[in-house]
Structure 1
Amino acid sequence: MRARDKGDRGVVQSVVLFLGVSVLSGALAAGLAIPFAGLAGFTTEKTSETLEDLPQELKTVPLAQKSAILAADGSLVANLYEQNRIPVKLSQINPIMRTAIVAIEDDRFFEHGALDAKGTLRALLRNQTEGTVQQGGSSITQQYVKMSLIEKANAANDPEAIEAATAETYQRKVAELRYAVAVEKQFSKSEILEKYLNLANFGDGAYGVEAAARHYFSTTAAKLTLPQAALLAGLVKNPSGYDPTNNAKRAKDRRDLVLKRMLELKVISVAQANAALKTPVFDPAKVKPVPNGCANSKYPFYCEYVVAKLLENPAFGKTDKAREHYIKTAGIVVRTSLDPKIQEAAQKSINEHSKPTDSAVAAITMVEPGTGIVKAMVQSKPYGGGRNQTAYNYNVEKSYAGGYGGFQNGSTMKAFTIAAAIQKGIPLTYRINSPRTIDLGGAKFSTCTGTTTAGNDYRPSNSTSAQGDLSMIDAARASTNTYFLQLSERIGLCPIAKVAASLGMYDAQTNKPLQQVVSMTLGVDTVTPLMMANAYATFAARGLYCAPLLITSVTDKNGKALKTPGPSCKQALAPEVADGVNYVLQQVMMPGGTGGSLKFGSSDLAGKTGTINANKAVWFAGYSTRMAAASVVADANLPYTNLINQTLDGKKMRDASGSGTAGPLWKTAMQGALKGLPSTRFTAPSDKTRRGDVKDLPSLGGMNPDEAANKLRSLGFQAQIAPGQVNSEEAAGTVAYTSPRQSEGAPEGSMVTIYVSNGSKAQQPPTAPNSPKPPNPPNTGKPGNPLPNCPPWHPKYPNCTGR
């Protein structure tokens, strides 16, 4: 017997054997014709078990759809997807596309059941002859089943299921057939075709016919032409091999084959076929890639931070991997807080004041007071892995992917010391003798858990010229270190730490609370521009703290709202405390203040500079009632070095300061953000806030200094005698005056400094000839004479006057 005859007889035997098993298994139901290609050697027992074990219904996973992140105005921030797909109804697909796919993949689709017996037999004979699987003969329903099983396995991230769904075995064929029967029972032919066209891979990242139409032709599935439909229909068999963007000639040959098949089946005319065959395969100019992920976004750093926030949401899955898969396949729409106009203003500032090639980095975050909405987030180094690019986000904490983890914030911490002092009833006029350098060696500072002690050689100095008997306002305007160190010593570090924590401040490297160290008020640990902008926004909102908000809503593919953290606000500071902080920091922006050169427009502005040791980072944080922003310029390369002689905006820095280096970045960004908006004002602090919660001070002028100190202590104050002597009318060696002054009063338990007279009268400016003599001040009803810098009116001092 010839070998061919023996092979044919083997085929027949396989057919008879498998048909028998199929009948016994009930698999011929609903008109099913069983595939018998090459089933010799596949046992009846194995076949029966396979069929009996299969469920009666094909359970599919929802189609993977691309998700979108949108800005506040609805513009696209980024697409996120594993498969770029836009599902559509069959009615939204041009009939010529339906005709083309049926013609090339399963021309008897509407005539047969789950399987085309003729097509399968044709494939059987060829495969048996070749000895391998050369032709599938699968119906569209079978192909849909196979694609669905692969999709399900991928969704579950199940390697074994993926291998089983793609294995070139007859066991898989049997399984697919059983599922195909179930699908044909459950859905109509039109429904199956719709599902198939939405599920199929059309190459170059396009899944489903709608995404493919948009990608290759900049059109929709409803508007596809005959040659376009033929090209897409040809792609399904080998999406990468026939991808026109990879090989236009091969794609054209495949398209033309589809057109000729359609002509053979008489579903198009000769004229239609000839016209289509002459059409160029595609126009490269109309190919529209769909960028995927944050790296392709216009706002990559902001986008990555949003994705990190999405991955925290347990509503999207139990694990990070499950949440990531959901976010990239569920077709969700994420609306964010990013304001493109404000982002543009911030980016303009970065572009004007820095360059990607600089050795120093610059970053700005902008937040809306009273909502926590993060409006903008920019930095000088663009996103990427190339030269002068970075994957670090310099605006956010290290716990997020790409988060740099911040920089020490220098004297911007003084704002929290001011708030803590006001909370404790310290007047805005509270005076402390603040020399250029102060010896705090061995000084003890109280903390939330005890005390911390300064080193024996701790002698901090001021970076500005302001020194002497300064009020809190004076010290803030000049950023006087020795004042705020003494102030923090007197009120304790715990109140400062609590205020900072309530305003969202923590170590951006470790996520731990800020350390309560002696120098806390001068800057501590590392914090981010986002933290600083949001904390200062709390002052602008009169003490209402709102956690940073980037995601404003998330909806599913049907537009239904999904659970996501919304605004989270609390009254972190009493409004009158915030009003006091605003008043003090507003003076910083006035002429002569460290931020005086940054004042613009007619709105009230407040802010604070910050410079860390050796100028390794400089800050400016400031706000109006509408917007808060923090800018930083820093060395971001270990080991950190002084910014002086590093480059910013392409030039070597000869100086580095919060006002002169980081300040211009803040100013330009804020000017752009507030442009065209009505002016706003801060709420003036109450008189009680200005004066503080004070007790009367006794009249001590002319007393023995030690006796005066004891008297102050007996009244609940702390007392110290200043070294040296001052000009005074009082007798030499007696008390000249105190700080705070008697007319100011002082908070209970606060430090009162006694100044000793040298016995000489203070020098008065000469009186001009014939000028009138100044009138005697009115009697205040209190011991002693009116003194300079008498504070504003207070119920305890109704007749207080003075300068």
Structure 2
Amino acid sequence: MRRRETGGAKAVQSVVLFLLVSTLSGALVAGLALPFAGLAGVTTKEARESVQYLPQDLKTVPLAQKSTILAADGSLIATLYQENRTPVTLKQISPIMLKAIVAIEDDRFFEHGAIDAKGTLRALLRNQSNGSVQQGGSSITQQYVKMSLIAKARTVEEVRAATAETYERKVAELRYAIAVEKQYSKWEILEKYLNLANFGDGARGIETAAQHYFSVPASKLNLPQAALLAGLVKNPTGYDPTNDLKRAKDRRDVVLRRMQELNVITAKQAAQALKTPVIDPAKIRKVPNGCANSKYPFYCDYIVAKLKENPAFGKTKEERQKYIETAGIVVRTALDPKIQAAAEQSIRKHSKPGDSAVAAITIVEPGTGLVKAMAQSRPYGNNKGQTSYNYNVEKSYPGGFGGFQNGSTMKAFTIAAAIQKGIPLTYRINSPQTINLSGKDFSTCTGTTSDPDYNPSNSTKTIADPSMIDAARASTNTYFLQLSEQVGLCPIATIAKKLGMYDAQTMDPLQQVVSFTLGSAGLITPLMLSNAYATFAARGMYCKPQVITSILSNRKKPISTPGRSCTQALAPTVADGVNYVLHQVMEPGGTGGKLKFGKSDLAGKTGTIQKNQAVWFAGYSTRLAAASVVADADPPAANLIGQTLNGKEMHDASGSGTAGPIWETAMQLALKGLPASKFVAPSDEIIRGKVKDLPNLKGLTPPDATAKLQQLGFQVEVAPQPVDSDAPAGTVAYTRPRQEDGAPEGSKVTLYLSNGSAAPPPPPVTPPPGPPTAPPTIWDPNCPPWDPKYPNCRRHG
């Protein structure tokens, strides 16, 4: 019974199929609706439901295209794609290619409708006799429908449904084909088909295939090339010439003979083409995918991270990533290949990939925020000695290392806050080698802070009574700690925040700690620091770092992207003062004096953190700003002394001697050929500061001197140790600041008391009067008594 039922079902199905194809031959305009309805009672339930509810319009998705990331000069940084495709118009495809694909896939394409009834009947009957789908018989339109359904599939189940070897799927394909041919002309369908087709080895679409296999555009394809590509569509993997050259040639030759058989080409043309080599391996052009294959992988990764933040590409990062890899966008960036080469050359000169310490540098353009270059010593990858960490950027995206403490490079922000408050560049503070700040209150934006046990020291030689300029040149810790106490941590932290400084690990504001000015307020990146220093170079104009300058759609239309964002974070005159001070650091005798080059004005600052776990140099001209760092990037971070840099063990580590040369080489190469530039000189008011006159207090008692100063609005403290002075012991010898320099309103004035050791000597004692003295003896110059020639010379009284 079961055998009879099965056989009967097959017989009925055969009749249905025969009737279906017969109906298709003459009833396509009816859209298959009436024949399907009439056959509902003789087919299976599943088939009946499939037919009844088939959609009539094919909804396609935009073609997945490769996107490109370009440098500032238009050179390629990277290609991103899920499918390597570059769509072209029919006019951009060689005519012989059009003839070849039609000849081998659907030679009656321009004669039949959506369905080639003869081919479909032949295929269906053969499939039915074999009990499964063995032959396609699909027209080019049907193939386009199938490829479109696969392209639209988002899940494994949808892909399986789009490729299922079932009659239901085949019937759905037929109905979609009818809708497509109603909507588009034959030439339009052919163009869509060639742009969508898979040509093997990752090449999607005819343009990409032509470039990939032959290094020519689709418009330049010749006969044997076109025949090879036409043959690939049936089995892109099996006939791929990079996989199996013989099978590829056999398939190409089948296409050529079919073209001759159809009189598309002559026998002579076919014979010549058959003798042509299939491919020239030297002309195969691979299109690397993703940032890992980029010449600038770290910079590229950072660009992609920024693209994923753009809401124009989707609501979620997943949607944005898909858009980036399928939309065919063109991303233009700030990367300058010349400046990038300078940074990389410097890294290669001063470090090696296998060093235990890492080196990194970022270069930014002042006044624009354009990130011109990023380079680092440890190469990109997941193997030993490689890394996927970008040591130049924050941790807020996958791959960002998240910075290092930046040491005394933070003193620049203290200088800016002091100048902004009106403190003169000549402002002197007694700065001993070690100072006791234990329990000392430092004002913050929310109150005060202190360290119960803090006795910082200077790491460099300095004078006892330095000015702000002297202290910057020698990087005098005890000076800047006292200066930050007088200025207050809140103004310093506020300026740092305005200049884009925050903790690169947590993205939180920097902590307002006592040692803020020494760079222990958080972890900083080279990108962050170079861009902050660029603000000084741009006379106080802060610009957010910018790596993406423009985005074009696949139709060459602009896509919204965050553009240049600049604000006047500091008064130009304040920035001029910072430039003046940091310029002195680069002069002979300053910590950066050995790094000076060229005729342009340069300014900079060294930085070394506690235990030498990282050393920095940040500096700039008016044209470029850069920050370089050498650090231990392998937790737990250890002292750089004993680690290797440039293949050698380090016996010393400093901002000027270790990180400085990386900055110097990179900047010297990057600025090569550019005209010299100068900083704007600070005004007299900036140099002298906004000061009030101080009274002459010498010789006054501490209470009297304190009262006078407090009456004028100054804070007062008495130095703990007396000094040598000619003033009476216990009275004021002098003040800091000095009377002749004046002091900013409300600032602290220190009284130095005399020990009396340099009091003037008593006046000489006058002797009492005595007997009259003889008149002085006068010698006759013409008769010297000591000369034996003149024995008769006499004295004259």
TM-score (norm 1): 0.90
Q: Which whole-Å CA distance do the structure 2 matches of 1:34 and 1:159 have between them?
A: 33
Contact 1:422 1:580 (C-alpha < 8 Å) held by counterparts: yes
Q: Percent identity?
A: 72
Residue in 2 that maps onto 1:198? 195
Q: Which amino acid aligns with 1:574?
A: A
| Range 637-646 or range 218-227, more displaced | 218-227
Residue in 1 that maps onto 2:483? 487
Choose 1 or 2 for highest CA Rg: 2
Contact 1:68 1:332 (C-alpha < 8 Å) held by counterparts: yes
Residue in 2 that maps onto 1:645? 642
Contact 1:11 1:40 (C-alpha < 8 Å) held by counterparts: no
Contact 2:69 2:331 (C-alpha < 8 Å) held by counterparts: yes
Q: Which amino acid aligns with 2:117?
A: A
Query: CA offsets per residue over residues 465-502 of structure 1, 9 Å max, x none?
Result: 11411111111111111111111111111111100000
Report the Cα offset of residue 100 of structure 1: 1.4
Q: Which whole-Å CA distance do the structure 2 matches of 1:31 and 1:515 have between them?
A: 73
**Alignment of 1:123 onto 2:123:** yes
Q: Which whole-Å CA distance do the structure 2 matches of 1:16 and 1:687 have between them?
A: 101
Contact 1:507 1:525 (C-alpha < 8 Å) held by counterparts: yes
**Secondary structure, aligned partner of 2:158:** helix
Contact 2:150 2:162 (C-alpha < 8 Å) held by counterparts: yes
Q: Which amino acid aligns with 2:220?
A: K
Question: Which of 489, 492, 499 matches 1:496?
Answer: 492
Residue in 2 that maps onto 1:621? 618
Report the Cα offset of residue 163 of structure 1: 2.8
Residue in 2 that maps onto 1:435? 432
Contact 2:18 2:121 (C-alpha < 8 Å) held by counterparts: no
Residue in 1 that maps onto 2:652? 655
178 and 477 in structure 1: CA distance in 2 versus 1, 3 angstrom threshold: same
Question: Which of 687, 690, 697 matches 1:690?
Answer: 687
Question: Which of 667, 672, 676 matches 1:675?
Answer: 672
Residue in 2 that maps onto 1:68? 68
Residue in 2 that maps onto 1:266? 263
Q: Which whole-Å CA distance do the structure 2 matches of 1:439 and 1:77 have between them?
A: 54
Q: Which amino acid aligns with 1:14?
A: V
**Alignment of 1:14 onto 2:42:** no
Q: Which whole-Å CA distance do the structure 2 matches of 1:6 and 1:49 have between them?
A: 21
**Alignment of 1:211 onto 2:213:** no
Residue in 2 that maps onto 1:179? 176
20 and 121 in structure 1: CA distance in 2 versus 1, 3 angstrom threshold: closer
Query: CA offsets per residue over residues 713-760 of structure 1, 9 Å max, x none?
Result: 332211122232323222232211111001111112211111122334
Question: Which of 698, 702, 719 matches 2:699?
Answer: 702
Residue in 1 that maps onto 2:274? 277
Report the Cα offset of residue 159 of structure 1: 4.1
Report matched runs for 1:520-531 at 5 Å: 520-523=516-519, 524-531=521-528
Contact 2:691 2:742 (C-alpha < 8 Å) held by counterparts: yes
Query: CA offsets per residue over residues 195-247 of structure 1, 9 Å max, x none?
Result: 10011011111111111000001112111122111111111111122111111
Report the Cα offset of residue 697 of structure 1: 1.1
Contact 2:40 2:48 (C-alpha < 8 Å) held by counterparts: no
Q: Which whole-Å CA distance do the structure 2 matches of 1:432 and 1:505 have between them?
A: 27
Q: Which whole-Å CA distance do the structure 2 matches of 1:762 and 1:41 have between them?
A: 128
Q: Which amino acid aligns with 2:701?
A: N
Report matched runs for 1:528-607 at 5 Å: 528-607=525-604
Contact 1:381 1:389 (C-alpha < 8 Å) held by counterparts: yes
Residue in 2 that maps onto 1:514? 510
**Alignment of 1:464 onto 2:466:** no
Contact 2:13 2:43 (C-alpha < 8 Å) held by counterparts: no
696 and 27 in structure 1: CA distance in 2 versus 1, 3 angstrom threshold: farther
Q: Which whole-Å CA distance do the structure 2 matches of 1:21 and 1:53 have between them?
A: 19
Q: Which whole-Å CA distance do the structure 2 matches of 1:42 and 1:622 have between them?
A: 85
Residue in 2 that maps onto 1:244? 241
Contact 2:732 2:753 (C-alpha < 8 Å) held by counterparts: yes
Segments of structure 2 that go 5 or more residues without pairing to the other structure are: 761-797
Report matched runs for 1:707-722 at 5 Å: 707-722=704-719
451 and 2 in structure 1: CA distance in 2 versus 1, 3 angstrom threshold: closer
Q: Which whole-Å CA distance do the structure 2 matches of 1:293 and 1:8 have between them?
A: 52
Report matched runs for 1:26-45 at 5 Å: 28-29=28-29, 43=43
Q: Which amino acid aligns with 1:364?
A: I
Q: Which whole-Å CA distance do the structure 2 matches of 1:695 and 1:723 have between them?
A: 25
Contact 1:21 1:44 (C-alpha < 8 Å) held by counterparts: no
Segments of structure 1 that go 5 or more residues without pairing to the other structure are: 764-803
Q: Which whole-Å CA distance do the structure 1 matches of 2:734 and 2:394 have between them?
A: 49
**Secondary structure, aligned partner of 1:724:** coil
**Secondary structure, aligned partner of 1:363:** strand
**Secondary structure, aligned partner of 1:331:** coil
412 and 762 in structure 1: CA distance in 2 versus 1, 3 angstrom threshold: farther
Report the Cα offset of residue 711 of structure 1: 2.7
Q: Across the two proteins, how many residue pairs are aligned to each other?
A: 755
Report the Cα offset of residue 29 of structure 1: 1.4
Contact 1:33 1:115 (C-alpha < 8 Å) held by counterparts: no
Report the Cα offset of residue 299 of structure 1: 0.8
Residue in 2 that maps onto 1:110? 110
Residue in 1 that maps onto 2:328? 331
Q: Which whole-Å CA distance do the structure 1 matches of 2:705 and 2:67 have between them?
A: 74
| Range 347-356 or range 724-733, more displaced | 724-733
Q: Which whole-Å CA distance do the structure 2 matches of 1:19 and 1:140 have between them?
A: 18
Query: CA offsets per residue over residues 144-176 of structure 1, 9 Å max, x none?
Result: 0111111122xxx34443332122222211211
Residue in 2 that maps onto 1:788? none
Query: CA offsets per residue over residues 296-337 of structure 1, 9 Å max, x none?
Result: 111111111111111100011111111111111111111111
Q: Which whole-Å CA distance do the structure 2 matches of 1:188 and 1:750 have between them?
A: 84
Residue in 2 that maps onto 1:801? none
**Alignment of 1:89 onto 2:89:** yes
Report the Cα offset of residue 543 of structure 1: 0.4
**Secondary structure, aligned partner of 2:618:** strand
Q: Which whole-Å CA distance do the structure 1 matches of 2:679 and 2:296 have between them?
A: 33
Report the Cα offset of residue 31 of structure 1: 9.1
Q: Which whole-Å CA distance do the structure 1 matches of 2:557 and 2:758 have between them?
A: 81
Q: Which whole-Å CA distance do the structure 2 matches of 1:707 and 1:470 have between them?
A: 28
| Range 297-306 or range 239-248, more displaced | 239-248
Q: Which whole-Å CA distance do the structure 2 matches of 1:514 and 1:9 have between them?
A: 82
Residue in 2 that maps onto 1:138? 138
Considering only aligned residues, what root-mean-square deviation do their CA atoms show, in Å?
A: 2.5
Q: Which whole-Å CA distance do the structure 2 matches of 1:212 and 1:260 have between them?
A: 22
32 and 224 in structure 1: CA distance in 2 versus 1, 3 angstrom threshold: farther
Residue in 2 that maps onto 1:783? none
Q: Which whole-Å CA distance do the structure 1 matches of 2:437 and 2:299 have between them?
A: 43
236 and 631 in structure 1: CA distance in 2 versus 1, 3 angstrom threshold: same
Q: Which whole-Å CA distance do the structure 2 matches of 1:42 and 1:519 have between them?
A: 88
Contact 1:34 1:115 (C-alpha < 8 Å) held by counterparts: no
Contact 1:70 1:76 (C-alpha < 8 Å) held by counterparts: yes
**Secondary structure, aligned partner of 2:720:** strand
**Secondary structure, aligned partner of 1:68:** strand
Q: Which whole-Å CA distance do the structure 1 matches of 2:656 and 2:43 have between them?
A: 85
Q: Which whole-Å CA distance do the structure 2 matches of 1:109 and 1:174 have between them?
A: 19
3 and 758 in structure 1: CA distance in 2 versus 1, 3 angstrom threshold: closer
Q: Which whole-Å CA distance do the structure 2 matches of 1:44 and 1:412 have between them?
A: 80
Q: Which whole-Å CA distance do the structure 2 matches of 1:382 and 1:747 have between them?
A: 51
Residue in 2 that maps onto 1:225? 222
